[in-house]
Structure 1
Amino acid sequence: MLPVQCKMARAALGLGVRDLAQLARVSPDTVARLERGEALRDKTISEIRSALEAGGIRFVADGEIAGGGPGVRIAPGTAS
């Protein structure tokens, strides 16, 4: 998960940094550090990613969709 994908996923789900931190059981500073591109432990990134996926996010890899870079998709009916 790239920093920009975390930001996009939070926006798609209408979550603030504190909201995501609570769902992932990490500190808000940890989420902010990820989104700034700072290095985090793989386990921490996995916890944040899992929380976003539980909310209906699917991460799209670079080149997975023709002509597109990395991104996110949301399950139908997930976001308001």
Structure 2
Amino acid sequence: MSLFVTLSRRNVMKKDIRPEQIRAARALIDWTRDDLAAASGVTIRTLARIESAQTIPRQTTLTALSSALETAGVEFIPENGGGPGVRLTRRSSQT
């Protein structure tokens, strides 16, 4: 039983993103909720509820959101003493 709990926690922490991170990520890439909803397959209403912390999303929903944002160039920074955050991924220059 304790192994299941440990694995469960590890899985949740791996893709655990906060509402503030989602809003900040959208702002970094200049996306509206409509844009993120279209890219992730998550409804606008659900996205609004997640961003305002009115609901705790399923892991599959968080995965869809983070995948869409990461594909668009956002990197999620985990809690590391300075708090969780987001930044643009470093892309190699194209010449």
The alignment's TM-score, normalised by the length of structure 2, stands at: 0.72
1:2 aligns with 2:42: no
Q: Distance in 2 between matches of 1:75 and 1:49?
A: 13
- Runs of 4 or more, structure 1, over 4 Å off, are none
Structure with max Cα Rg: 2
Match of 2:42 in 1: 26
Task: Give me the CA root mean square deviation.
Answer: 1.3
The alignment's TM-score, normalised by the length of structure 1, stands at: 0.85
Match of 1:40 in 2: 57
Q: 1:17 aligns with which of 20, 33, 45?
A: 33
Matched residue pairs, number? Answer: 74
Q: Which runs of 5+ in 1 are unaligned?
A: none
Q: Distance in 1 between matches of 2:89 and 2:77?
A: 13
* Structure holding more helix per residue: 2
The amino acid across from 1:8 in the alignment is A
The one of the two structures with greater contact order (alpha-carbon pairs below 8 A, sep at least 6) is: 1
Q: 1:70 aligns with which of 74, 84, 89?
A: 84
State percent identity of aligned pairs. Answer: 38
Cα-to-partner distance string for 1:22-61 (whole Å, 9 max, x where unaligned): 0001111111111012111110111011000001111001
Q: Which runs of 5+ in 2 are unaligned?
A: 1-16
